[in-house]
Structures are given as structure tokens and as C-alpha cells.
Amino acid sequence: MFLKLWDMSYRRLGDMVKFISNKNTDGNATVLFGINIDKFFMPSVANIIGVDLKKYKVVKKYQFACNRMHVGRDERLPISMSTFDYDFIVSPAYDVFEVITSDVLPEYLMLWFRRKEFDRQCWFYTDADVRGGLHLDALKSIEIKVPTIEEQRQIVAQYQSIANKIKVNEQICEKLEATAQALYKHWFVDFEFPNEAGKPYKSSGGKMVWNEELGKEIPEGWEVRSLGDNIDYKKGYAFKSEDYECTGNCIIRVTDLGNKYVNSSDFYKIQKNKMYQNYPVKYKDVIITTVGSWPSNPLSVVGKVVRVPSFANEYYLNQNMVRLRFDHSLNEIIYQQLIDKKFGEYLISGAQGSANQASITLEHIFNFRIVVCNDNTLNIPLNNLYGMIDLTINQNQKLTQLQSLLLSRLAVGEEVNA
């Protein structure tokens, strides 16, 4: 890896952009987006029944929208640039702006907005507002280093090439997961795993026995038991702010959980050599959130089930979650049952509390009934598939870290080449 220095100069954001407020007066734009803290537009979960959408603001391609209201609380400025080929609308409370100078690329500006240092600067300015909002004048006054237009193109191209590789890897993971789920269904739901002659078990006359609890036949020797039988588990720990520092191992929070895996590259750190090391997670552990909101809020939803990839091995588990560790020979078979829709519905059926603070007891989780096979070798193909998935996830983790390194180098004018 080597670094190349660029010629750069500071410029105020307010001198490079124009804030606009184009309302949806004709009602043509019907897609409503919000902005998440990862700086991406996402479909809004707001109830807009009976709402006059003509008062909402229109966002066009290469225009920006941001929400300055809760920067002090979230320590991030939710901001994103539209890359869509259609117009959409955002809340009237959002600010919308566009680049007005020909020597600044909107894509380069968006990279700057993704920098952790930019968020810290925005957060610093919120001290003047008791509600934690960022004043518009403060946002406009933030200075940004801007290289030549050609160098901006190189930076954007480099970042985008990494983003494209991450996207390809995500598609590979999706295909591998689809293969794993199809194999699981064929072998462990339809019971067509290969018999000693290599033929489908059930359709080739394999012996089946009636299971009263499931109300169907299962292969002889298989059993139905509670999830909580013979597993190792540990609830997360309520780490305190004073436990965090820049060295040491990482804390996994509820917001670090993706749809199926631990996926954050921006963990908090904790000090070493403390009792908190009693709360590690390991590769192939399953994490279930026990406290959170209902499924309408994907960032902190209760009952979310994720798998720990190898890069998160020996990280520590924060509160509001429980870690499950299974017998190695059954790991992928049980995991498939836990990401099934039936288990999700079962978890939510036992959730109690308000919409913003629901909870699930360990007793309810552990009472879920699972099917366990008597042939440990049947897990090997699933294990191999998930091994390939984990390798791809690990590569994406490194690529994401490379993206962060590239963003951090923008302020000092260094190009990162791997």
C-alpha cells in the first residue's frame, strides 16, 4: 500500500451548495423516504394516511437531504445524496440542498459526509442547542477540503470500486444462503436426505415414525426437544460509558446486528483484563435480541436472530441480547430453524411491553421446540456452505475497513492504494 498526496484547499459548505425547498405541489412524487444513521435513504415507516403529501419536499438525483434535529443524541448527522433516477419526497422538516459549483462533485461531497470526523464536528456544534439539533448556519460553516475535480473523480472511483466489490460479495452470500436453505428444506423438512445407498430417504421407503407433538411423521431416531435443552447461553452485560476506550476488544450492540449476521465495522471498545471478559461471543454463536421495539424498527427490533461470523470471534455482548451456543455437530441445523419464519412468529407471540420497549423472556425462547436428527454427518454440507459465506463476510469486513481508511485520508489529502 502507498499514499499519494493531493493538493487541497478548505472551503465552507455554504459556499458550495444552495439550500432549496421544492414542495410536491403537483403531487407527482409519491415515494416517501427517510434517512437512517448510516446515511442511506430508506422507505419511511411513518403513517401517511390522510397526510397532505403536497407539503413534503422533493429530492431529485444528486441532491442531498439531511435531518438536523437529533445530531446531539445520535452523534451523527443523517444525510444522504439521491442516486435514484426518479424524484421522491422527504419530510418537510428535512433540509434539501444541491451543489452549485462546477468544481465540486456531489459524489465527493457525500464521501466527506460519511467521515466519522464530519459527524464529530456536527455533534460538537450541537452544544449550543438544548434539544441537540444542529443549526443550519453551523452546518453551512463547516469547512471541507476539496482537491481538483480530476482528483475528486479518482477518489470517488476508488471508493465506488470497493463498494461494488462489497455488493458483489453480498449477492454471493445471498445465493449461498438460498442454497443452504434449499438443502435444509429438502433434507430436514422433506426428509429426503441421502440414505446409505445415496437415495432420497423418505421417498425411498426410509422408516418414518409418527410424532404426536408435530402432528406428522419424522425419520426413525430423530427427536423433538426444547431449544433450551443442552445449550450454553449467556445474557449480555450492561457496559457503561467509562468502560469504552480506543484499545481492547469490541462490544456488540443491538444496532450492530444486521439481518442475519453481526455486520458492524464500528464497534465500541472496552478495556482489557476486566470481568467483562466473561461475556464473549464466539464464531457460530447465535444472538437473539430480548429487548427492543417491534419489527417496524429494524435497527433495534426485539426477537432479531443473527449469527456470529469469524471476524467477531471473542467480541463482547452488550445488554438486551442473549448468546446461544450449540453442539458443533448441530449448529447449522438448529440455526436454520431459528431463522425460519415460524420461530420469528413464535418469538413475537411472547413479546410483552410497549411498541418502543418490548421484551422476550429466556423461558419463552428456550421453550421453542426444534427437530434434531441422529446423523451428525448430515450437517457437513450445511457447514461447508456457511464456511464459504463466512469467508465472504470476512472479506466484506476488510473492504469496509478499507473504505473507512480512504475516508479518513481525505482530510490530509492522501490516496490509499491497496
Give pLDDT tens digits for 231-242: 899 999 887 766
Give the three cell numbers for residue 85: 433516477
> Average pLDDT, whole number, for the chain?
88
- pLDDT interval class at 153 (50, 70, 90): very high
Smallest CA-to-CA distance from 330 within 221, 208, 206, 230 is with 230
Give domain limits for the chain: 2-147, 223-372
CB 20 within 8 A of CB 98: yes
C-alpha cell at 89: 419526497
Amino acid at 313: N
pLDDT value for 239 = 77
Domain 223-372 classified CATH 2.40.50.1070? no
Of the given ranges (36-45, 99-108, 123-132, 171-180), which has the lowest mean pLDDT?
Answer: 123-132
Alpha helices in 52-196 (DSSP H): 71-74, 106-113, 116-125, 136-141, 149-184
Task: Report how far residue 344's alpha carbon sits from residue 190's, in angstroms, rounded to the nearest whole number.
Answer: 21
pLDDT tens-digit series, residues 187-206: 999 999 999 999 999 999 99
Mean pLDDT value of segment 333-360: 90
Higher pLDDT, 369 or 5: 369
pLDDT at 1 over 50: no
160: left (phi over 0), alpha (psi -120 to 50) or beta: alpha
Distance CA(72)–CA(75), nearest Å, equals 5
Output phi, psi for 6, to 5 deg.
-110, 155
pLDDT above 90 covers a percentage of the chain that reads 65
Nearest to 387 by CA among 176, 234, 217: 176
Task: Say yes or no to pLDDT of 2 above 70.
Answer: no
The yes-or-no verdict on residue 65 having pLDDT over 50 is yes
Q: Are 324 and 231 in contact (CB under 8 A)?
A: yes
**Mean pLDDT on 332-344:** 93
> Comparing C-alpha atoms, which of 297, 362, 267 is closest to residue 323?
362
For residue 79, the cross-strand partners are 66
- Residue 241: all three cell numbers together: 460509558
pLDDT at 167 over 70: yes
The correct CATH number of 2-147 out of 3.90.220.20, 3.40.50.1000, 3.40.1190.20, 1.10.260.40 is 3.90.220.20
Tell me the C-alpha distance between 315 and 287, whole Å. 12
pTM to 2 decimal places: 0.82
Average pLDDT over residues 268-274: 54
On the question of pLDDT at 266 being above 60, the answer is no
Which triple of cell numbers denotes residue 65?
A: 437531504
Other Cβ atoms within 10 Å of 302 Cβ, number = 24
CA–CA gap between residue 329 and residue 313 (Å, rounded): 19
List, as one string, the DSSP characters of 7-30: -EEEEEHHHHEEEE--B-TT----
pLDDT in tens, 21-40: 999 999 999 899 999 888 99
Give the pLDDT of residue 267. 55
Per-residue pLDDT tens digits for 384-400? 999 999 999 999 989 99
Is 249's pLDDT higher than 70? Answer: no
Per residue in 74-101, pLDDT (tens digit) is 889 999 999 999 999 999 999 999 999 9
> Cα 16 vs. chain centroid, distance in angstroms?
32
The rounded distance, in Å, linking the Cα atoms of 82 and 65 is 8
Judge whether 305 and 286 are in contact, CB under 8 Å.
yes
Residue matched to cell numbers 446423523? 375
Name the pLDDT band for 4 (thresholds 50, 70, 90): very low
Q: What is the pLDDT of residue 269?
A: 56
Torsion angle defined by CA atoms of residues 125, 129, 133 and 135, in that order, rounded to the nearest 10 degrees: -60
Residue 297 has pLDDT above 70, yes or no: no
Residue among 370, 344, 342, 347 nearest 188 (CA): 370
- Of the pLDDT bands very low, low, confident and very high (cuts 50, 70, 90), residue 223 is very high
Would you say residue 131 has pLDDT above 80? no
| Rounded Cα–Cα distance for residues 33 and 111 (Å) | 20
Question: What pLDDT, on a 0 to 100 scale, did the predictor assign at position 147?
Answer: 93
If you count DSSP H runs as helices and E runs as strands, how many of each does the chain have, helices first?
A: 10, 26
| pLDDT given at position 268 | 54
115-129, 226-240, 258-272: range with lowest mean pLDDT: 258-272
Rounded CA separation 351/232 (Å): 23
Same fold, 2-147 and 223-372: yes
Q: Which of 319, 312, 320 is closest to 249 using CA atoms?
A: 312
Of the candidates 318, 299, 304, which has an alpha carbon nearest to the alpha carbon of residue 249? Answer: 318
